[in-house]
Structure 1
Amino acid sequence: MWLAILVIVIASVAAFDVTVTNHWNGGFQGKFTITPDHALHGWRAHIICDRALDAVEIWKATVVETKNDGKEYVVENMPWDGEISERNSLEIEFVGRMSGDSAPSCTVTVDGVGGGGSNHQNNPSPTQHTGSAGGGSPIQPGTSVVGGSAMKYDYAKALGLSILFYDAQRSGRLPANNPIPWRGDSAVNDGDAGHDLSGGWYDAGDHVKFNLPMAASTHFLLLSFIKFQDAYKQAGQTNMMCDMIKWPLDYFLKCWIPESQTYYVQVGDGGADHSFWGRPENMNMNRPAFKVTASNPGSDVAGDTASAFAAGYIVFKTICGDIPYANKLLEAAKSIYEFAKNHQKIYSQSVPQANAFYGSSGFKDELSLAAAWLYKATNQDNYLSDAKQFHEAGVPWSLSWDNKNIIATLLLYEITQDGSYKNDVMGFIRSYKPGGGITYTPCGLAYRDQWGANRYAGNAAFVAVLAAADGIEASDYLTWAMSQINYILGDNKYHISYEIGFGSHYPEHPHHRGSSCPTTTTQCNAGDPGPNPNVLKGALVGGPDNQDNYDDRRGDYVKNEVACDYNAGFQGALAGEF
């Protein structure tokens, strides 16, 4: 009796084809759309293929059962997408893993729905590899999946490690509470004509101090601290973060001389610096300082620093509890912003020594962002007017040290609730998700560029968690962001954490001079095949190529470089996920 009823129900369910959007050797990406003829309050779908799959990875559902020797996967809705009203649609993407390089033919049935789905077939692109985080079931908050088995990732630990990386990058005379045992005082005589320029962060594995990426990293980190301060508190990292983030702010205050309208933007010559492989404590080369002035300005680097000062004002007033210091930062933010606004020029045109390393493409994004931050700090309408005037609408290629336009867009949306800003934010994240045009590695990393692949994915994930915090597509964006962070922390074909010190398997040969040199010698060799003697805890290495291949080799600075800006968005995304 029960069997007969079951047969009747299944017979009444319409089947429709899965649209294959991409395939590669070992997997394919497909999608289907549920368009019910009546309201659904929870749903169950059957993905049935003409040959067995090793695994199905799906974001908007969870795999509850596998049948017919792997040819059928039963999936159920996630808690946030079970409600589908009559004639509305829900598009669902998934990745199937199997042997071979041709996609199977698959159909979908939805229990209790007599039709309604996609039945067209697209031509797959042979060049775009897409996927989700490497595993076999959906990623839930606080967990990731490697090889089909659930594994808990400790985001709080990853966050604390990232803070330690910035402490390892400190230049100058280190404080008594220095948490990095293999670091000591260095470059304590940095300066120009008697003006003290010691302090700040070394940029990457080298020892130049570049203020444009340093300021960008600083206000990314401050933004994450403001938006996700509860996460820092839950991780037990509030005091460490206050201590860490004050270091670059103190340095920027040294660099900015409002009386003479002078801002020092670089210390160290890139060419001379890169010819030395050794610890910063052992440097003895000349370290020239470069500046922008009213007659030779730099609106981008000055604007970025204004953002760091204004965001720092909010942090030290509301979180770190140092009102006098906060007020000092606010006054500096106002004055350096006026300098940036009144003397408009790209800084790397004024300081050509920066051009080969951090040449800037423009300054409107920095001016818009600085004005938005100052409006948040002061509530003065003239800053909001400036932020709107300098803002450039549209979807940028990425979030990076050079282009901060998407953060300006987010802040303007928070301030105004204008739908045009929201649309650009959604367009940016859509461009990074599968089907949005970006290449994905087979294991699921959104691959924007070979230089700092993990950095770009982490930055995009940071934008996604910020948007989610602002109420934009929260569940979907958090799930996608988590797929990128979990890839970085281990959901990849090597099961390696690209954050050094996290887990038991991580890079041992980062392209970083201080980490690679023993503290007991004044000389070391970049070609030494052994692991770095000093563990650069928390550093995010550049990452894999577009096929998930990675070499833990110090000489491969494309895959194994580290940098202050590599960690900034990644750390913000970690904070936004718990």
Structure 2
Amino acid sequence: MRVSYLLSLLPALVAAQLPLPNPPFLPPDIASGAQTSSGGFPNPKWSSLLGTLLYFYDEQRSGTLPSTNRVPWRNDSLILEGRDVGIDLSGGFYDAGDFSKDTFPLVRTIPFTIPSNAQRKMQSFALMSICWGATDFGQGYDLANQTAYLDDTLRWGLDWLIKAHPNDTTLVVFIASADEQNTYWGGDRSIPSPRPVYTITNANPGTDAAAGAAAAFAACSNLYAGRGFSNSSYSAPASLRNDSYANTLLTHGQQLYSLAVNATGGRKTYQTSVPQAGAAYASSGYGDELAVAALFLSWATGSATLYQEAEAYYTRYKLADSNRVFNWDSKTPGLAVLFSQINQGSPSFGGNFSTWRDTAEDFFDGIVNNKGPGYLLQDSLLFYDGDSDDASLNPALNAAMLLRRFAPMASSVDKRVAYTDFAKSQVDYVLGKNSMNGMFPLYRFPPRG
């Protein structure tokens, strides 16, 4: 085992995580069917739902499982991942229903409650999204007694992402055999290995993947440092503060942002350097990743320069023209919200809160008034042609997440109410308030109407 690998683990090992509850939380027995809520605060049904959604990530775990493993059918798997190339890449999460590990888009994110809900990209997009949500709405995790599981889930992904970033100018972006990725349907104990490990480097860059990982590290550093967005309408960050771990995450974020911006090979989409990864999850561009990374880093470091770089990316890469769906490949709809949060909290950065608030409202008004770019299906589910076709609920739930986050900053009471009500309608649809009286799975295609 290489000394450099052991050293890379020290910060994570020193920054101990929260102890998990004993006995552990387990999802309710599905055989019991739907049950009426008894109400109260916190509502036990919502607390159980949040816990069940976090449990989903336990089901996706790779590597040597801890003694606290709650999933009886999940086994230790691929515990020697990466050793053939001199990097310990065991751990992390599998992507969706297969066994690949994708740094840019790894595991499918759970719907509706974990705040951001687009589908793939655990090691970058989903980690960023969960940390952003737990920074804004941390009280929900605390009241539901799920903060320890939030910490456990995040560290399982973040510790793997730290290992996937073994030095300043290298990031592992894909682990899988192209021939076996979608053809192996066996159990987790007999996954064919060793598997090819694909990286981006200074000479063979992937601007989007590096910047996306930088955004994840920075957003999660903000959470672990307790750096909320100073908006009294939101709750405080979840109670898992750990300054040592926050500093470790920030260092990795800064290094990866530097790689994204300054790679000697220039700025390129990651599939240019690693076509094997792009064959499954091709990126449409990197301007949005650069902007969101700069924004989270600006908040983490108090840097007006980074904030101004984010505004420059928004203009340079004409991101307003792609303001459509918030998901693993497109961060643009979330940028105006994040710009607004940062402007409200740090006016000294030089931004204009009213400008970004108006940009966000132009987008959200189109959604709630059914004037595009999406449109409403039967029972008022938001649908985007070309995006919702394969992931029917995710674009709608991502829009709901952004609407709910932005609503307290809206320019009028009417807009605040409209945004909140629309967000609630999308969640209600998924939970069974629809003409079929059924709770939809993540990929069921709803009827057009």
Identify the TM-score tier after normalising by the shorter chain.
Answer: 0.7 to 0.9
Matched, 1:273 2:164: no
Task: Indicate whether 1:369 and 2:280 are aligned.
Answer: no
Give me the CA root mean square deviation.
2.1
1:170 corresponds to = 61
1:168-216, Cα deviation, whole Å (9 max, x unpaired) = 1111111111121211211111115121111111110111111112210
1:189 to 1:431, Cα distance in 2 relative to 1, 3 A: farther
- 1:229 corresponds in structure 2 to 138
Task: Give the equivalent residue in structure 2 for 1:385.
Answer: 308
Match of 2:435 among 493, 496, 516: 493
Matched letter for residue 436 of structure 1: K
CA distance in 1, matches of 2:65, 2:390: 31
* 1:352 Cα deviation after fit: 0.4
* Structure with bigger RCO (C-alpha 8 Å, 6+ apart): 1
Q: Per-residue displacement from partner, 1:70-112 (whole Å, max 9, x unpaired)?
A: xxxxxxxxxxxxxxxxxxxxxxxxxxxxxxxxxxxxxxxxxxx
Alpha carbons of structure 1 residues 306 and 356: separation in structure 2 relative to 1, 3 Å = same
Alpha-carbon separation, structure 1, partners of 2:417 and 2:77 = 46
* Aligned equivalent of 2:128, options 219, 229, 250: 219
Structure number with higher strand proportion: 1
Decide whether aligned partners of structure 1 residues 232 and 474 sit closer, same or farther in structure 2, where only a CA change above 3 A counts.
farther
SS in 2 for 1:334: helix
- Distance in 2 (CA, whole Å) between partners of 1:247 and 1:369 is 23
Structure 1 residues 402-481: aligned runs within 5 Å = 402-416=329-343, 417-437=352-372, 438-448=374-384, 449-471=388-410, 473-481=415-423
Q: Which residue of 2 aligns with 1:334?
A: 254
Quick check: 2:368–2:419 contact (8 Å CA) kept in 1?
Answer: no
Q: Is the 8 A contact 2:174 2:277 kept in 1?
A: yes
How big is the shift at 1:395? 6.0
Whether contact under 8 Å (2:204, 2:273) holds in the other structure is yes
* 2:198 partner SS: strand
Task: Verify: 1:543 aligned to 2:435, yes or no.
Answer: no
C-alpha separation between the residues in 2 aligned to 1:330 and 1:231?
Answer: 25
Q: 1:201 is aligned with what amino acid?
A: F
Offset, 1:434: 4.4
Structure ID, larger Rg: 1
- Equivalent position of 2:349 in the other structure: none
Q: Give 3-state SS (helix, strand or coil) of 2:405's partner.
A: helix
Which sections of structure 2, spanning at least 5 residues, go unmatched?
A: 1-36, 105-120, 227-238, 344-351
Determine the C-alpha separation between the residues in 2 that align with 1:428 and 1:180: 41
Alignment match, 1:308: 216
State the AA in 1 paired with 2:379. C
Partner of residue 51, structure 2: 160
Distance 1:368 1:486 in 2: 32
Q: 1:298 aligns with which of 206, 224, 227?
A: 206
Amino acid of the structure 2 residue aligned with 1:300 = D
- Deviation per CA, 1:297-316: give whole Å up to 9, x if none: 01111111111111111222
Q: Give CA deviations for 1:222-260 in whole Å, capped at 9, x if unaligned.
A: 11100000111122211111111111111110011334x
1:249 and 2:141 are equivalent in the alignment: no
Task: Report the count of equivalent residues.
Answer: 358
- In the superposition, relative to structure 1, how do residues 422 and 480 fare at CA in structure 2: closer, same or farther (>3 Å)? same
Partner residue in 2 for 1:350 = 273
The CA distance in 1 between the partners of 2:189 and 2:363, in whole Å, is 42
The offset of 1:157, in angstroms, is: 2.2
CA displacement at 1:268 relative to structure 2: 0.9
Task: Give unpaired runs (5+ residues) of structure 1.
Answer: 1-141, 144-151, 499-539, 549-578
Please name the residue that 2:425 is paired with. Answer: 483
CA distance in 2, matches of 1:350, 1:451: 26
SS at match of 1:154: helix
SS at match of 1:265: strand
Query: Offset of 1:469 from its aligned partner?
Result: 3.9
1:291 Cα deviation after fit: 0.4
- Which residue does 1:324 correspond to in 2? 244
Q: What is residue 204 of structure 1 aligned with on the other side?
A: 96
Aligned amino acid, residue 359 of structure 2:
D
Partner Cα distance (2:417, 2:321) in 1: 24
